[in-house]
Amino acid sequence: MKEFRRYAMISRPDAASDELCERAIRDLDARGYIRDELHPDVAFVIGGDGTFIYAVHHMMRTIGRGIDKVHFYGIHTGTLGFYTDYKDADYDEFMADFFENRLHEASFPLLQAEYGPDMHNAVNEIRIENAARTQVMDVYVNDVFFETFRGTGMCVCTQFGSTAYNRSLGGAVIQEGMDFIELTEISGIHHSKYRSLDAPLILKKDTVLEFRSESFKGALLGCDADVYRLDDVNSVRLFVCKSAEVHMLRGRDVSYFERLKSLF
Among 52, 75, 102, the domain boundary falls at 102
Task: For residue 49, indicate whether it is catalytic.
Answer: yes
Contact 61, 49 (CB under 8 A): no
Number of domains in the chain: 2
Catalytic residue among 49, 90, 97, 224: 49
Same domain, 204 and 128: yes
CB 74 within 8 A of CB 45: yes
Supply the pLDDT for residue 44. Answer: 97
CATH code at position 56: 3.40.50.10330
Which residues of the chain, if any, have pLDDT below 50? none
- Claim to verify: residue 64 and residue 122 sit in the same structural domain: no
Look up the CATH number of the domain holding residue 236: 2.60.200.30
| 21 and 124 co-located in one domain | no
**d(C-alpha 68, C-alpha 41), whole Å:** 10
Give yes or no: residues 236 and 173 share one domain: yes
DSSP string, 57-112: HHHHHHHGGGGGG-EEEEEESSS--SS-SEEGGGHHHHHHHHHTT--EEEEEEEEE
Domain closes at, from 83, 102, 121: 102
What is the domain extent for residue 229?
110-242
Residues 27 and 69 in one domain: yes
Same domain, 231 and 121: yes
CB distance 47 to 25 below 8 Å: no
Quote the CA–CA distance of 215 and 128 in Å, as a whole number: 12
Same-domain pairing of 93 and 115 = no
| Residue 248 lies inside a defined structural domain of this protein | no
Give residue 79's pLDDT.
64
Q: What pTM did the predictor assign?
A: 0.90
What is residue 134's predicted lDDT score, i.e. its pLDDT?
95
**How far is it, in rounded angstroms, from Cα 237 to Cα 209?**
6
Instruction: Examine residue 249 and state whether it is found in any structural domain, yes or no.
Output: no
Residue 227 resides in a domain: yes
Conformational region of residue 143, where left means phi above 0, alpha means psi within -120 to 50, and beta covers everything else: left
Q: How many residues does the chain have?
A: 264
